Amino acid sequence: MNIKITSDSTCDLSAEQLERHHIQLLPLCISMGDKLLRDGLEIHPDDIYAHVDAGGDICTTSALNIADYTDCFAPLSREYDAVIHINISAEFSSCHQNAVLASQEFDNVYVVDSRNLSTGHGHVVLRAAELAESGMDAKDIVAQLNAFAPKVDASFILSQLAYMKKGGRCSSVVALGANLLHLRPCIEVVDGKMQVGKKYRGSFDKCVDQYVRDRLAHPEDLDLSRIFITHSGVPDSALEAARRAVEDCASFREILVTRAGCTISSHCGPGTLGVLFLHK
């Protein structure tokens, strides 16, 4: 079958990965002041940081509406035998619900909930592309993806909580306490939802090292095909600490370092880093 894979821009895959697998992205919209800008096309994370540093409010993300998805699916459904679209977790956004409603107008459009975000979502998109390239039937791909999504392990460690505080996702008291104690919280995705995990203390590089080693503490349970080190803008020393810890813990065939897009960046701010990988 000739199958087209599409995704929301929240999957945070690199331009090279998108081109290699012919994946089409639908950009979410980012509200910055009175402007509504398309993620990755008209606005990038550093634009968000500059806006906030200049005294602007935290940027917010807007889900794609049903018409957006319909406009994308309509020409692709005529050109391809099937279209498979993978969304950010339905727990984080109404994107999935809107895509499902739009897909009901077409007999050959399938929508999958990644149950994840950022390159956790990206893992599911890449698996979809690889299965499509293998010649698998669209319905079988969807079934495989639904079984695959829960195997993704996604988390991030935050160097600061300023953006979380400004966005109303943690109190000023919590943020102040974390700053005074030099705490770096881990945010993890569990059952498609975000929750606070372990809190680390010390320099960010030291915390990154320990965070990675904790996440990869059971190598017998790891799928070693690939791992993402995804960040929202961190010092080179933190990236080096993360890569070194990954290489010490397991022999992944691919270690992919990627920059997070506007969704993660607008919520967490700079200084956020995650390792995103698969369980067997």
What is the structure's pLDDT at 165? 55
**What is the dihedral sign for C-alpha 214, 219, 220, 221?**
positive
Sheet holding 109-113, edge to edge: 24-26, 3-8, 82-87, 109-113
Q: Which residue stretches of 54-203 are H helix?
A: 66-79, 95-103, 118-133, 138-148, 162-166, 172-180
Going from N- to C-terminal start, the domains of the chain cover 3-148, 152-279
Give the span between the Cα atoms of 260 and 265, in whole angstroms.
Answer: 7
- In the DSSP assignment, the letter for residue 169 is S
Q: Is the dihedral of CA 163, 165, 169, 170 positive or negative?
A: positive
Eight-state DSSP code of residue 116: -
In the prediction, which pLDDT does 194 show?
81
pLDDT of residue 164: 67
Write the DSSP string, 232-274: SS--HHHHHHHHHHHHHH---S-EEEEE--HHHHHHH-SSEEE
CB 167 within 8 A of CB 134: no
Q: How many whole angstroms separate alpha carbon 212 and alpha carbon 280?
A: 18
Measured distance CA(102)–CA(246) in Å, rounded: 40
Burial class (CB within 10 angstroms; exposed 0-12, middle 13-18, buried 19+) of 263: buried
What pLDDT does 244 receive? Answer: 98
pLDDT of 197: 85
CATH fold of 3-148 reads Rossmann fold (3.40.50)
Q: CA-CA distance, 220 to 60, in Å (whole number)?
A: 40
d(CA 76, CA 2): 11
Mean pLDDT, contiguous 10-residue spans, the chain (280 residues): 96 96 96 93 96 90 96 98 97 96 98 97 98 97 97 94 58 40 82 87 95 97 97 97 98 97 90 97
The dotted CATH code for 152-279 is 3.30.1180.10
Q: Determine the straight-line distance between the first and last CA of the chain, rounded to whole angstroms.
A: 28
